[in-house]
């Protein structure tokens, strides 16, 4: 049975009131200056994330999801420090060589204390996209956490050289260099 679009939207909002937040998440895109918009994903069973269209939890490899859906879920789960769940979502991404996948793979490995693996993932992301300022910031923050301030400063210099002055990537790394504290997203 086909449901008229207007009625379907009302039903979706009635069943899924957080759907109103979804445009905010997509409007932010890769804006990492704020925590990710909350979704029901953290309440989904292990190996599943929230499908905003169907308004239910689905397996991370579901064909109903696209990589942007997965990327947003990875970011939300990583922010909540649910690193194993975030890694499962990363594993379901269609392009494991994408620099955003490599960036978050490095982030998760760093947060799990696997700095050598994190640096390899970060470097692979930089090799794919030298202008990925987020990976440079995360890599630099990893260097700060491990005490290698010279390497962190080199990443900060690269961010500045690539036009990133005043971006979250630059400011967060500058703050980490000054304070020794790193960000969780």
| Interval 97-132: pLDDT, tens | 999 999 999 999 999 999 999 999 999 999 999 999
Res 169 pLDDT > 90: yes
Q: Considering only residues 23 and 149, tell me which one the structure prediction assigns the higher pLDDT.
A: 149
What is the mean pLDDT of the segment spanning 18-25? 38
**Residue 18 domain-assigned?**
no
Task: Give the pLDDT confidence score for residue 144 in this predicted structure.
Answer: 96
Domain count, the chain: 2
Question: Same domain, yes or no, for 88 and 126?
Answer: no
**Residue 100 domain-assigned?**
no
Question: Same domain, yes or no, for 162 and 125?
Answer: yes
What is the mean pLDDT of the segment spanning 30-34? 57
Question: Same domain, yes or no, for 125 and 90?
Answer: no
**Residue 58 domain-assigned?**
yes
Question: Same domain, yes or no, for 184 and 131?
Answer: yes
Question: Same domain, yes or no, for 185 and 127?
Answer: yes
Exposure string of 63-74, with b = 16+ CB inside 10 Å and e = fewer, is eebebebbbbbb
Task: Give the pLDDT confidence score for residue 63 in this predicted structure.
Answer: 94
Task: Give the pLDDT confidence score for residue 34 in this predicted structure.
Answer: 72
- For 61, the domain range is 32-94
Task: Give the pLDDT confidence score for residue 37 in this predicted structure.
Answer: 83
**Residue 174 domain-assigned?**
yes
Overall pTM surpassing 0.85 (yes/no): no
**78 token code pair:** 């990583």
Res 44 pLDDT > 70: yes
**54 token code pair:** 């169907």
What backbone torsions phi and psi does residue 79 show, to the nearest 5 degrees?
A: -60, -35
Q: Considering only residues 135 and 18, tell me which one the structure prediction assigns the higher pLDDT.
A: 135
């Amino acid at each position: 049975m086909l449901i008229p679009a207007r009625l379907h939207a009302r039903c979706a909002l009635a069943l899924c009131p957080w759907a109103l937040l979804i445009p905010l998440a997509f409007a932010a895109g890769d804006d990492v200056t704020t925590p990710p918009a909350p979704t029901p994903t953290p309440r989904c069973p292990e190996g599943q994330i929230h499908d905003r269209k169907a308004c239910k939890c689905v397996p991370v490899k579901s064909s109903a999801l696209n990589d942007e859906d997965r990327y947003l879920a990875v970011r939300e789960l990583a922010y909540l420090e649910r690193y194993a769940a975030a890694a499962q979502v990363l594993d379901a991404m269609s392009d494991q060589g994408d620099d955003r996948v490599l960036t978050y793979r490095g982030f998760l490995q760093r947060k799990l204390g696997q700095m050598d693996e994190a640096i390899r993932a970060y470097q692979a992301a930089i090799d794919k996209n030298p202008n990925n300022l987020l990976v440079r910031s995360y890599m630099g923050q990893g260097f700060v956490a491990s005490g290698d301030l010279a390497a962190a400063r080199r990443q900060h210099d690269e961010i500045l050289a690539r036009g990133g002055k005043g971006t979250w990537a630059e400011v967060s790394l500058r703050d980490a260099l000054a304070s020794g504290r790193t960000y969780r997203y």
